[in-house]
Amino acid sequence: MSKVALITGVTGQDGSYLAEFLLQKGYEVHGIKRRASQFNTQRIDHIYEDPHIENQRFKLHYGDLSDTSNLTRILQEVRPTEVYNLGAQSHVAVSFESPEYTADVDAIGTLRLLEAIRFSGMEKTTRFYQASTSELYGLVQEIPQKETTPFYPRSPYAVAKMYAYWITVNYREAYGMYACNGILFNHESPRRGETFVTRKITRGMSNIAVGLESCLYMGNMDALRDWGHAKDYVEMQWLMLQQDQPEDFVIATGVQYSVRQFIEMTAAELGVTLRWEGAGVDEKGIVAKVEGDKAPALKVGDVVVQVDPRYFRPAEVETLLGDPSKAKQKLGWTPRITLAEMVQEMVASDLEAARKQALLKQHGYSVAVSRE
Ligand code: NDP
Ligand code: GDR
Protein backbone atom coordinates (compact mmCIF):
# COMPACT_ATOMS: atom_id res chain seq x y z
CA MET A 1 0.00 0.00 0.00
CA SER A 2 1.36 3.45 -0.86
CA LYS A 3 2.24 5.63 2.07
CA VAL A 4 0.35 8.87 2.48
CA ALA A 5 1.35 11.42 5.11
CA LEU A 6 -0.59 14.40 6.40
CA ILE A 7 1.45 17.12 8.15
CA THR A 8 -0.04 19.94 10.19
CA GLY A 9 2.42 22.82 10.52
CA VAL A 10 4.00 22.00 7.15
CA THR A 11 5.01 25.65 6.65
CA GLY A 12 7.06 25.62 9.88
CA GLN A 13 10.67 24.63 10.49
CA ASP A 14 10.06 20.93 11.21
CA GLY A 15 7.19 20.59 8.74
CA SER A 16 9.42 21.71 5.89
CA TYR A 17 12.23 19.27 6.73
CA LEU A 18 9.79 16.43 7.34
CA ALA A 19 7.98 17.02 4.03
CA GLU A 20 11.33 16.91 2.19
CA PHE A 21 12.33 13.74 4.01
CA LEU A 22 9.04 11.92 3.34
CA LEU A 23 9.03 12.90 -0.34
CA GLN A 24 12.52 11.41 -0.63
CA LYS A 25 11.14 8.23 0.96
CA GLY A 26 8.50 8.00 -1.77
CA TYR A 27 5.50 9.18 0.25
CA GLU A 28 2.60 11.19 -1.08
CA VAL A 29 2.71 14.19 1.25
CA HIS A 30 -0.20 16.45 2.18
CA GLY A 31 0.29 19.56 4.25
CA ILE A 32 -2.13 21.88 6.00
CA LYS A 33 -1.32 25.55 5.60
CA ARG A 34 -3.08 28.51 7.14
CA ARG A 35 -4.65 31.27 5.17
CA ALA A 36 -2.50 34.39 5.63
CA SER A 37 -2.64 37.84 4.08
CA GLN A 38 0.78 37.25 2.52
CA PHE A 39 2.52 34.15 1.21
CA ASN A 40 3.66 31.99 4.14
CA THR A 41 5.20 29.07 2.26
CA GLN A 42 8.83 30.29 2.00
CA ARG A 43 10.18 27.19 3.77
CA ILE A 44 8.50 24.80 1.33
CA ASP A 45 8.58 26.77 -1.93
CA HIS A 46 11.51 24.67 -3.18
CA ILE A 47 9.41 21.47 -3.01
CA TYR A 48 6.17 23.03 -4.26
CA GLU A 49 4.47 21.08 -7.04
CA ASP A 50 2.08 22.68 -9.47
CA PRO A 51 -1.40 21.20 -8.90
CA HIS A 52 -1.84 21.08 -12.67
CA ILE A 53 0.84 18.44 -13.15
CA GLU A 54 0.02 14.74 -13.17
CA ASN A 55 1.06 12.47 -10.30
CA GLN A 56 1.48 15.39 -7.92
CA ARG A 57 3.07 14.02 -4.72
CA PHE A 58 3.10 17.17 -2.57
CA LYS A 59 -0.27 18.79 -1.98
CA LEU A 60 -1.30 21.69 0.24
CA HIS A 61 -4.71 22.20 1.83
CA TYR A 62 -6.00 25.29 3.59
CA GLY A 63 -6.84 24.50 7.18
CA ASP A 64 -6.47 25.34 10.83
CA LEU A 65 -6.22 23.33 14.04
CA SER A 66 -9.02 25.46 15.47
CA ASP A 67 -11.48 24.20 12.83
CA THR A 68 -12.97 20.73 13.46
CA SER A 69 -14.99 20.37 10.27
CA ASN A 70 -12.05 21.45 8.16
CA LEU A 71 -9.75 18.85 9.79
CA THR A 72 -12.35 16.09 9.38
CA ARG A 73 -12.92 16.95 5.73
CA ILE A 74 -9.19 16.98 4.92
CA LEU A 75 -8.67 13.64 6.71
CA GLN A 76 -11.53 11.99 4.85
CA GLU A 77 -10.30 13.34 1.54
CA VAL A 78 -6.61 12.45 2.04
CA ARG A 79 -7.05 9.21 4.05
CA PRO A 80 -3.46 9.39 5.35
CA THR A 81 -1.60 6.36 6.66
CA GLU A 82 0.45 8.66 8.91
CA VAL A 83 -0.49 11.96 10.55
CA TYR A 84 2.22 14.26 11.96
CA ASN A 85 0.74 16.91 14.24
CA LEU A 86 3.43 19.61 14.14
CA GLY A 87 1.12 22.63 13.94
CA ALA A 88 1.16 24.83 17.03
CA GLN A 89 1.50 28.31 18.44
CA SER A 90 5.02 27.25 19.33
CA HIS A 91 6.52 30.33 21.00
CA VAL A 92 6.78 30.02 24.78
CA ALA A 93 7.00 33.78 25.48
CA VAL A 94 4.07 34.51 23.14
CA SER A 95 1.96 31.93 25.00
CA PHE A 96 1.98 34.25 28.03
CA GLU A 97 0.48 36.96 25.77
CA SER A 98 -2.05 34.64 24.07
CA PRO A 99 -2.73 31.82 26.53
CA GLU A 100 -6.26 31.03 25.39
CA TYR A 101 -5.38 30.86 21.70
CA THR A 102 -2.36 28.70 22.54
CA ALA A 103 -4.57 26.29 24.50
CA ASP A 104 -7.14 26.16 21.71
CA VAL A 105 -4.61 25.31 19.01
CA ASP A 106 -1.96 23.31 20.89
CA ALA A 107 -4.20 21.36 23.29
CA ILE A 108 -7.72 21.21 21.82
CA GLY A 109 -6.32 21.24 18.29
CA THR A 110 -4.66 17.90 19.04
CA LEU A 111 -7.93 16.52 20.39
CA ARG A 112 -9.76 17.75 17.28
CA LEU A 113 -7.31 15.91 15.05
CA LEU A 114 -7.49 12.68 17.05
CA GLU A 115 -11.29 12.86 17.06
CA ALA A 116 -11.34 13.51 13.31
CA ILE A 117 -9.30 10.30 12.82
CA ARG A 118 -11.65 8.33 15.06
CA PHE A 119 -14.81 9.88 13.64
CA SER A 120 -13.61 8.91 10.17
CA GLY A 121 -13.11 5.28 11.28
CA MET A 122 -9.35 5.50 10.66
CA GLU A 123 -8.14 4.89 14.21
CA LYS A 124 -6.87 1.39 13.40
CA THR A 125 -5.20 2.29 10.12
CA THR A 126 -3.73 5.76 10.63
CA ARG A 127 -0.62 6.25 12.73
CA PHE A 128 -0.34 9.49 14.71
CA TYR A 129 2.70 11.50 15.79
CA GLN A 130 2.33 14.25 18.40
CA ALA A 131 4.98 16.98 18.64
CA SER A 132 5.56 16.91 22.38
CA THR A 133 8.27 18.92 24.01
CA SER A 134 10.97 19.15 26.65
CA GLU A 135 9.04 22.21 27.94
CA LEU A 136 6.83 19.62 29.70
CA TYR A 137 9.69 19.16 32.19
CA GLY A 138 9.75 22.92 32.93
CA LEU A 139 10.83 23.16 36.54
CA VAL A 140 12.96 20.06 36.27
CA GLN A 141 12.45 17.23 38.73
CA GLU A 142 15.42 15.13 37.59
CA ILE A 143 18.64 15.69 35.61
CA PRO A 144 18.90 14.56 32.85
CA GLN A 145 15.27 14.23 31.80
CA LYS A 146 13.99 10.97 30.36
CA GLU A 147 10.61 9.45 29.43
CA THR A 148 9.78 8.67 33.09
CA THR A 149 10.75 12.09 34.52
CA PRO A 150 7.70 13.84 36.04
CA PHE A 151 6.35 16.88 34.19
CA TYR A 152 6.15 20.39 35.69
CA PRO A 153 5.08 22.79 32.91
CA ARG A 154 6.01 26.47 33.34
CA SER A 155 4.08 28.31 30.61
CA PRO A 156 0.64 28.32 28.96
CA TYR A 157 2.39 26.70 25.99
CA ALA A 158 3.78 23.86 28.10
CA VAL A 159 0.47 23.34 29.92
CA ALA A 160 -1.35 23.12 26.57
CA LYS A 161 1.26 20.67 25.28
CA MET A 162 0.80 18.60 28.43
CA TYR A 163 -2.88 18.14 27.57
CA ALA A 164 -1.86 17.15 24.05
CA TYR A 165 0.66 14.65 25.42
CA TRP A 166 -1.87 12.93 27.65
CA ILE A 167 -4.75 12.93 25.15
CA THR A 168 -2.39 11.18 22.72
CA VAL A 169 -1.56 8.55 25.36
CA ASN A 170 -5.25 8.27 26.19
CA TYR A 171 -6.34 7.63 22.60
CA ARG A 172 -3.62 5.00 22.30
CA GLU A 173 -4.87 3.22 25.43
CA ALA A 174 -8.60 3.76 24.91
CA TYR A 175 -8.95 3.06 21.20
CA GLY A 176 -5.84 1.03 20.42
CA MET A 177 -4.51 3.76 18.14
CA TYR A 178 -0.91 3.73 17.01
CA ALA A 179 -0.20 7.14 18.55
CA CYS A 180 3.14 8.38 19.91
CA ASN A 181 4.66 11.40 21.55
CA GLY A 182 8.09 12.57 20.52
CA ILE A 183 9.39 14.53 23.49
CA LEU A 184 11.79 16.62 21.50
CA PHE A 185 14.34 18.95 23.04
CA ASN A 186 15.13 22.26 21.29
CA HIS A 187 16.14 21.84 17.68
CA GLU A 188 17.23 24.58 15.37
CA SER A 189 18.39 25.26 11.81
CA PRO A 190 18.67 28.11 9.31
CA ARG A 191 14.89 27.70 8.94
CA ARG A 192 14.22 28.36 12.64
CA GLY A 193 11.70 31.16 13.28
CA GLU A 194 13.52 34.50 13.68
CA THR A 195 12.33 35.13 17.26
CA PHE A 196 13.59 31.89 18.85
CA VAL A 197 16.81 32.51 20.68
CA THR A 198 19.34 30.75 18.41
CA ARG A 199 18.07 32.36 15.22
CA LYS A 200 17.65 35.71 16.92
CA ILE A 201 21.35 35.49 17.81
CA THR A 202 22.72 34.26 14.46
CA ARG A 203 20.57 36.72 12.52
CA GLY A 204 21.13 39.64 14.89
CA MET A 205 24.91 39.16 15.14
CA SER A 206 25.15 38.77 11.34
CA ASN A 207 23.23 42.03 10.89
CA ILE A 208 25.56 43.71 13.39
CA ALA A 209 28.64 42.36 11.60
CA VAL A 210 27.61 44.08 8.34
CA GLY A 211 26.40 47.28 10.01
CA LEU A 212 22.62 46.80 9.63
CA GLU A 213 22.07 46.79 13.40
CA SER A 214 24.21 47.87 16.31
CA CYS A 215 23.13 45.85 19.34
CA LEU A 216 21.41 42.59 20.22
CA TYR A 217 18.97 42.88 23.13
CA MET A 218 18.61 39.64 25.09
CA GLY A 219 16.67 38.10 27.96
CA ASN A 220 17.99 35.43 30.33
CA MET A 221 21.39 34.46 28.96
CA ASP A 222 22.04 31.92 31.73
CA ALA A 223 19.27 29.61 30.46
CA LEU A 224 20.67 26.18 29.57
CA ARG A 225 19.38 24.21 26.61
CA ASP A 226 20.07 20.91 24.84
CA TRP A 227 20.18 22.04 21.19
CA GLY A 228 20.09 19.70 18.19
CA HIS A 229 19.49 20.09 14.46
CA ALA A 230 15.91 19.93 13.09
CA LYS A 231 17.00 17.86 10.09
CA ASP A 232 18.19 15.06 12.39
CA TYR A 233 15.11 15.31 14.61
CA VAL A 234 12.44 14.92 11.89
CA GLU A 235 13.92 11.55 10.92
CA MET A 236 13.17 10.39 14.47
CA GLN A 237 9.56 11.59 14.14
CA TRP A 238 9.20 9.28 11.16
CA LEU A 239 11.03 6.37 12.84
CA MET A 240 8.67 6.53 15.83
CA LEU A 241 5.82 5.67 13.47
CA GLN A 242 7.68 2.70 11.92
CA GLN A 243 7.95 0.53 15.07
CA ASP A 244 5.93 -2.58 15.98
CA GLN A 245 4.41 -0.90 19.03
CA PRO A 246 3.63 2.78 19.61
CA GLU A 247 5.81 4.32 22.32
CA ASP A 248 6.90 7.76 23.51
CA PHE A 249 10.52 8.83 23.08
CA VAL A 250 12.83 11.59 24.30
CA ILE A 251 14.95 12.99 21.46
CA ALA A 252 17.90 15.07 22.63
CA THR A 253 21.68 15.31 22.23
CA GLY A 254 22.53 14.84 25.92
CA VAL A 255 24.72 17.97 25.88
CA GLN A 256 23.83 21.35 27.33
CA TYR A 257 24.99 24.92 26.62
CA SER A 258 23.92 28.35 27.88
CA VAL A 259 22.41 31.09 25.74
CA ARG A 260 25.55 33.12 26.50
CA GLN A 261 27.75 30.31 25.13
CA PHE A 262 25.61 30.25 21.99
CA ILE A 263 26.24 33.98 21.56
CA GLU A 264 29.99 33.41 21.99
CA MET A 265 30.00 30.59 19.42
CA THR A 266 28.14 32.80 16.95
CA ALA A 267 30.49 35.72 17.50
CA ALA A 268 33.51 33.43 17.04
CA GLU A 269 32.03 32.15 13.78
CA LEU A 270 31.81 35.77 12.62
CA GLY A 271 35.41 36.38 13.66
CA VAL A 272 34.46 38.58 16.63
CA THR A 273 35.78 38.15 20.19
CA LEU A 274 33.53 39.39 22.99
CA ARG A 275 34.36 40.68 26.46
CA TRP A 276 31.55 40.42 29.01
CA GLU A 277 31.14 43.21 31.53
CA GLY A 278 28.79 43.90 34.43
CA ALA A 279 26.81 41.62 36.69
CA GLY A 280 23.83 41.68 38.98
CA VAL A 281 21.00 39.44 40.02
CA ASP A 282 18.66 40.70 37.31
CA GLU A 283 21.50 40.81 34.77
CA LYS A 284 20.39 44.26 33.62
CA GLY A 285 23.96 45.49 33.79
CA ILE A 286 25.50 42.80 31.63
CA VAL A 287 26.86 43.81 28.26
CA ALA A 288 29.23 42.27 25.74
CA LYS A 289 31.80 44.52 24.08
CA VAL A 290 33.87 43.80 21.02
CA GLU A 291 37.41 42.91 22.03
CA GLY A 292 38.90 41.88 18.74
CA ASP A 293 37.21 41.55 15.39
CA LYS A 294 37.47 40.96 11.69
CA ALA A 295 34.06 42.43 10.94
CA PRO A 296 34.52 45.73 9.07
CA ALA A 297 31.44 47.36 10.61
CA LEU A 298 32.72 46.95 14.19
CA LYS A 299 35.42 48.44 16.33
CA VAL A 300 36.93 47.44 19.66
CA GLY A 301 34.77 48.56 22.59
CA ASP A 302 31.44 48.57 20.70
CA VAL A 303 28.60 47.23 22.87
CA VAL A 304 26.97 44.52 20.77
CA VAL A 305 24.91 42.61 23.35
CA GLN A 306 22.83 44.09 26.15
CA VAL A 307 20.18 42.70 28.49
CA ASP A 308 16.63 43.96 28.07
CA PRO A 309 14.32 42.71 30.84
CA ARG A 310 11.37 42.76 28.44
CA TYR A 311 12.66 39.41 27.20
CA PHE A 312 12.52 37.82 30.65
CA ARG A 313 9.59 35.42 30.98
CA PRO A 314 7.03 35.47 33.82
CA ALA A 315 8.14 31.93 34.68
CA GLU A 316 11.39 30.65 33.18
CA VAL A 317 12.65 27.19 32.32
CA GLU A 318 16.24 27.53 33.49
CA THR A 319 17.74 24.22 32.48
CA LEU A 320 16.94 21.36 30.12
CA LEU A 321 19.11 18.35 29.40
CA GLY A 322 17.76 15.23 27.75
CA ASP A 323 18.69 11.57 28.17
CA PRO A 324 18.09 9.98 24.76
CA SER A 325 19.13 6.43 25.84
CA LYS A 326 15.78 4.85 24.96
CA ALA A 327 15.79 6.34 21.45
CA LYS A 328 19.42 5.26 21.02
CA GLN A 329 18.59 1.72 21.97
CA LYS A 330 15.25 1.27 20.18
CA LEU A 331 15.45 3.69 17.25
CA GLY A 332 19.20 3.69 16.70
CA TRP A 333 19.28 7.44 17.36
CA THR A 334 22.62 9.16 16.82
CA PRO A 335 22.55 12.84 15.93
CA ARG A 336 24.65 13.52 12.84
CA ILE A 337 25.02 17.32 13.03
CA THR A 338 26.99 18.83 15.93
CA LEU A 339 26.15 22.14 17.56
CA ALA A 340 29.33 23.70 16.12
CA GLU A 341 28.33 22.61 12.60
CA MET A 342 24.83 23.93 13.13
CA VAL A 343 26.08 27.34 14.30
CA GLN A 344 28.32 27.44 11.23
CA GLU A 345 25.38 26.65 8.92
CA MET A 346 23.04 29.16 10.58
CA VAL A 347 25.63 31.96 10.55
CA ALA A 348 26.53 31.30 6.90
CA SER A 349 22.87 31.53 5.93
CA ASP A 350 22.11 34.66 7.99
CA LEU A 351 25.32 36.38 6.95
CA GLU A 352 24.47 35.87 3.29
CA ALA A 353 21.01 37.37 3.87
CA ALA A 354 22.52 40.29 5.84
CA ARG A 355 25.03 41.03 3.09
CA LYS A 356 22.22 41.13 0.50
CA GLN A 357 20.29 43.56 2.70
CA ALA A 358 23.38 45.70 3.24
CA LEU A 359 23.93 45.88 -0.50
CA LEU A 360 20.36 47.03 -1.04
CA LYS A 361 20.80 49.67 1.65
CA GLN A 362 24.05 50.84 0.09
CA HIS A 363 22.17 51.43 -3.16
CA GLY A 364 19.52 53.55 -1.49
CA TYR A 365 16.78 50.96 -0.98
CA SER A 366 15.07 50.90 2.40
CA VAL A 367 15.57 47.70 4.38
CA ALA A 368 13.52 46.68 7.39
CA VAL A 369 15.40 44.99 10.22
CA SER A 370 12.67 43.82 12.54
CA ARG A 371 13.84 42.61 15.91
CA GLU A 372 11.87 40.98 18.72
P1 NDP B 1 7.17 26.51 13.95
O2 NDP B 1 6.69 27.60 14.82
O3 NDP B 1 8.32 26.76 13.02
O4 NDP B 1 5.96 25.96 13.07
C5 NDP B 1 4.67 25.86 13.57
C6 NDP B 1 3.73 25.50 12.45
O7 NDP B 1 2.38 25.44 12.97
C8 NDP B 1 3.67 26.53 11.31
O9 NDP B 1 3.50 25.85 10.08
C10 NDP B 1 2.44 27.34 11.64
O11 NDP B 1 1.86 27.97 10.52
C12 NDP B 1 1.54 26.22 12.16
N13 NDP B 1 0.41 26.71 12.93
C14 NDP B 1 0.38 27.66 13.88
N15 NDP B 1 -0.87 27.85 14.33
C16 NDP B 1 -1.65 26.99 13.64
C17 NDP B 1 -3.05 26.73 13.62
N18 NDP B 1 -3.89 27.42 14.38
N19 NDP B 1 -3.52 25.77 12.79
C20 NDP B 1 -2.67 25.09 11.98
N21 NDP B 1 -1.35 25.31 11.93
C22 NDP B 1 -0.85 26.25 12.75
O23 NDP B 1 7.51 25.27 14.90
P24 NDP B 1 8.59 24.10 14.74
O25 NDP B 1 8.58 23.63 13.35
O26 NDP B 1 9.86 24.53 15.37
O27 NDP B 1 7.98 22.98 15.69
C28 NDP B 1 7.05 22.02 15.21
C29 NDP B 1 6.25 21.47 16.37
O30 NDP B 1 7.12 20.85 17.30
C31 NDP B 1 5.44 22.49 17.16
O32 NDP B 1 4.26 21.86 17.57
C33 NDP B 1 6.33 22.80 18.36
O34 NDP B 1 5.54 23.23 19.43
C35 NDP B 1 6.95 21.44 18.60
N36 NDP B 1 8.28 21.43 19.19
C37 NDP B 1 9.29 22.17 18.63
C38 NDP B 1 10.57 22.09 19.13
C39 NDP B 1 11.69 22.87 18.56
O40 NDP B 1 12.71 23.01 19.23
N41 NDP B 1 11.58 23.37 17.34
C42 NDP B 1 10.88 21.19 20.28
C43 NDP B 1 9.74 20.44 20.77
C44 NDP B 1 8.50 20.56 20.22
P45 NDP B 1 2.40 29.41 9.98
O46 NDP B 1 3.64 29.11 9.20
O47 NDP B 1 1.27 29.90 9.15
O48 NDP B 1 2.68 30.25 11.19
P1 GDR C 1 12.18 27.71 24.16
O2 GDR C 1 13.01 28.42 23.00
O3 GDR C 1 11.46 28.67 25.01
O4 GDR C 1 13.13 26.76 24.84
O5 GDR C 1 11.09 26.92 23.31
P6 GDR C 1 13.57 29.89 22.83
O7 GDR C 1 14.61 29.77 21.79
O8 GDR C 1 12.48 30.89 22.61
O9 GDR C 1 14.24 30.21 24.27
C10 GDR C 1 15.30 29.45 24.79
C11 GDR C 1 15.84 30.12 26.04
O12 GDR C 1 16.48 31.34 25.68
C13 GDR C 1 16.10 32.34 26.60
N14 GDR C 1 16.24 33.68 25.99
C15 GDR C 1 15.54 34.14 24.95
N16 GDR C 1 14.61 33.57 24.16
C17 GDR C 1 14.09 34.30 23.13
N18 GDR C 1 13.19 33.72 22.32
N19 GDR C 1 14.47 35.60 22.92
C20 GDR C 1 15.41 36.23 23.69
O21 GDR C 1 15.72 37.39 23.50
C22 GDR C 1 15.97 35.45 24.76
N23 GDR C 1 16.92 35.74 25.69
C24 GDR C 1 17.07 34.65 26.43
C25 GDR C 1 14.65 32.00 26.93
O26 GDR C 1 14.23 32.68 28.12
C27 GDR C 1 14.76 30.49 27.07
O28 GDR C 1 15.21 30.15 28.35
C29 GDR C 1 11.43 26.26 22.08
C30 GDR C 1 10.21 26.26 21.17
O31 GDR C 1 10.58 25.77 19.91
C32 GDR C 1 9.12 25.37 21.73
O33 GDR C 1 8.06 25.25 20.77
C34 GDR C 1 9.70 24.00 22.03
O35 GDR C 1 8.70 23.18 22.59
C36 GDR C 1 10.89 24.11 22.96
O37 GDR C 1 11.86 24.95 22.35
C38 GDR C 1 11.53 22.76 23.23
Report pLDDT for 83.
98
- 295-316 confidence digits (pLDDT tens): 778 888 898 999 999 999 999 9
Measuring from atom 17 of ligand 2, which residue has the nearest CA?
Answer: 197
- State the distance from the centre of ligand 1 to the C-alpha of 338, rounded, in angstroms: 23
Q: Range with the lowest mean pLDDT among 81-85, 280-284, 321-325?
A: 280-284
Residue 280 above 70 pLDDT?
no
Report pLDDT for 297.
85
301 torsion bin: left (phi>0), alpha (psi -120 to 50), beta (else): left
Q: Which ligand is nearest to the CA of 137?
A: 2
CB 40 less than 6 A from any atom of ligand 1: yes
- State the distance from the centre of ligand 1 to the C-alpha of 80, rounded, in angstroms: 20
Identify whether 157 is a catalytic site residue. Answer: yes
Three-state SS sequence of the chain: CCCEEEEECCCCHHHHHHHHHHHHCCCEEEEEECCCCCCCCHHHHHHCCCCCCCCCCEEEEECCCCCHHHHHHHHHHHCCCEEEECCCCCCHHHHHHCHHHHHHHHHHHHHHHHHHHHHCCCCCCCEEEEEEEHHHCCCCCCCCECCCCCCCCCCHHHHHHHHHHHHHHHHHHHHCCCEEEEEECCEECCCCCCCCHHHHHHHHHHHHHCCCCCCEEECCCCCEECCEEHHHHHHHHHHHCCCCCCCCEEECCCCCEEHHHHHHHHHHHCCEEEEEECCCCCCCCCEEEEEEECCCCCCCCCEEEEECHHHCCCCCCCECCECCHHHHHHHCCCCCCCHHHHHHHHHHHHHHHHHHHHHHHHCCCCCCCCCC
What is the pLDDT confidence band of residue 1, given thresholds at 50, 70 and 90? low
- State the distance from the centre of ligand 2 to the C-alpha of 196, rounded, in angstroms: 5
Distance of CA 62 to the CA centre of its chain: 21
Catalytic pick from 8, 126, 133, 202? 133
Measuring from atom 22 of ligand 2, which residue has the nearest CA?
Answer: 219
Catalytic pick from 17, 137, 157, 233? 157
Measuring from atom 33 of ligand 1, which residue has the nearest CA?
Answer: 90
Cβ atoms 5, 28 nearer than 8 A = yes
Report pLDDT for 283.
56
In this predicted complex, what is the ipTM? 0.99
By percentage, how much of the chain surpasses pLDDT 90? 89
Identify whether 133 is a catalytic site residue. Answer: yes
CB 145 less than 6 A from any atom of ligand 1: no
Q: Which atom of ligand 2 is closest in space to residue 259's alpha carbon?
A: 12
pTM confidence score: 0.97
Catalytic pick from 135, 213, 235, 269? 135
CB 358 less than 6 A from any atom of ligand 2: no
- 154-210 confidence digits (pLDDT tens): 999 999 999 999 999 999 999 999 999 999 999 999 999 999 999 999 999 999 999
Identify whether 152 is a catalytic site residue. Answer: no
